[in-house]
Chain A
Amino acid sequence: MLKGALEALSTWAIPLLVAGIPAWALTRKVKVYPVFVEGAKEGFQVAVRVIPPLVAVVVALGMLRASGALEGLAALLAPVTDAVGIPASVLPMVLVRPLSGGAALGVVADVLRSDGPDSYAGRLVSVMAGSTETTFYVLAVYFGAVGITRYRQALPAALLADLAGFAASVVAVRLLFG
């Protein structure tokens, strides 16, 4: 019931907002069309401003992946993560999630295929993917858009949040699926 309602909300929300905002604004005597065009101009400028920081971050992470550092780290971490309830097949998720959204979804697809979607590993990897974000990408885009280069506590706080999300995923899946 609730699930159906949430899914419907997520499909309807965008079309309703796209039509609803201009319609509401028109009743408020806003010159909807020129105002929209004026605002939309900013989209291109923001995207261009985001390029330099994104190049820096994506290149560093691309090098890290190509160098085999992640595999090495996975081998080192495997005994620890195994002990806390993260199967070896799910471990790449923990390493890749903050770095690349596309790669993370790739890991989900892999585990769902190898372990099955209704297995412990399959559920865990799904919950992990859904409850965390592509940290480095989010920070590069948001800070890059306003020209901030000193992130201060944002990066450690974001990485701690990822860690908490992974730990909570293990607990939640154990708790809700036994």
Chain B
Amino acid sequence: MSVLWVLLLVASVVTAAVTGRMPALPGAIAESAGRAVTLSLGLVGVLSLWMGLMKVAEEAGLVRALGRFARPVLRRLFPSVPPESPAMGAITLNVAANMLGLGNAATPFGIKAMEELERVNPTPGTATDAQALFCALNTASVQLVPASVIALRAAAGARQPADILAATLLASTCATVAAVTAAWALRRLFPPPPPGGAGA
């Protein structure tokens, strides 16, 4: 990530020098930094709401029940996670919310899942295979209802705004399969540091 980050920064400055867009950069930098904070703080409301509901669901035993329900699949995808971990329920909720296009609810569930996965991480600060797979899965989630796209199509006067549902389902399923396969296939190329060590 460090290399990629520096690469992006340097490439931007070099390109701006070549294209003569350097005057636009200082403004873009300040504006982006500000927007990152707005984005984060914009999450506070929905995060608080769903974190609260999540806690209620946990105490009522709902999260555990959901985790048990999805265990046959999740155990294969996340073999290193204890089957009784609350992470399983949080992952199930996250995937279900993503499929319904409920991005607002999916993010808090996903963060909860990451927190539970971090509890069983022998190398804090470095992603485990389970966390890497979970995040990759979230960047390519299976979509049953791409709500914002359908709204845009309706606004643009499409004959049937939702006629892209089947194609979207097909494409997002392919993306999800690719995410799982790639995360699994690439895991040995990115070995974690030895447990307990600070790492490079």
Is the beta-carbon distance between B162 and A160 smaller than 8 angstroms?
no
- Which B residue's beta carbon lies closest to that of A106? B152
Chain A's nearest CB lies how many Å from the CB of B27? 8
Residues of B within 8 A of A50 (CB): 40, 43
* Neighbour of A143 across the interface among B43, B127, B170, B171, CB < 8 A: B127
Contact status of A67 and B60, CB under 8 A, knowing A142-B135, A164-B175, A168-B174: no
Q: How far is the CB of A148 from chain B (nearest CB, A)?
A: 5
Q: State whether the Cβ of A78 lies closer than 8 Å to any Cβ in chain B.
A: no
In the assembled complex, the Cα of A158 lies from the Cα of B138 at a distance in Å of 9
Determine if B114 and A13 form an interchain contact, defined as CB atoms under 8 angstroms apart.
no
- Tally of B interface residues using CB under 8 Å: 114
Within 8 A of B (CB), among A22-78: 22, 24-25, 28, 30, 32, 35-44, 46-48, 50-51, 54-69, 72
A6 & B167 in contact (Cβ 8 Å cutoff): no
If over half of B's interface residues share one DSSP class (helix, strand or loop), that class is named, otherwise mixed; here it is helix
Q: Which residues of A contact B186 (CB under 8 A)?
A: 153, 156-157
Contacts of A47 in B (CB 8 A): 40-41, 43-44, 47
**Could you write out 26 A-B pairs with CB less than 8 Å apart?**
A10-B100, A10-B102, A22-B53, A24-B62, A35-B56, A39-B53, A39-B54, A40-B52, A51-B41, A54-B40, A59-B33, A62-B29, A62-B32, A67-B16, A67-B24, A108-B152, A117-B158, A126-B164, A128-B171, A134-B139, A135-B139, A145-B115, A152-B127, A158-B140, A168-B171, A168-B174
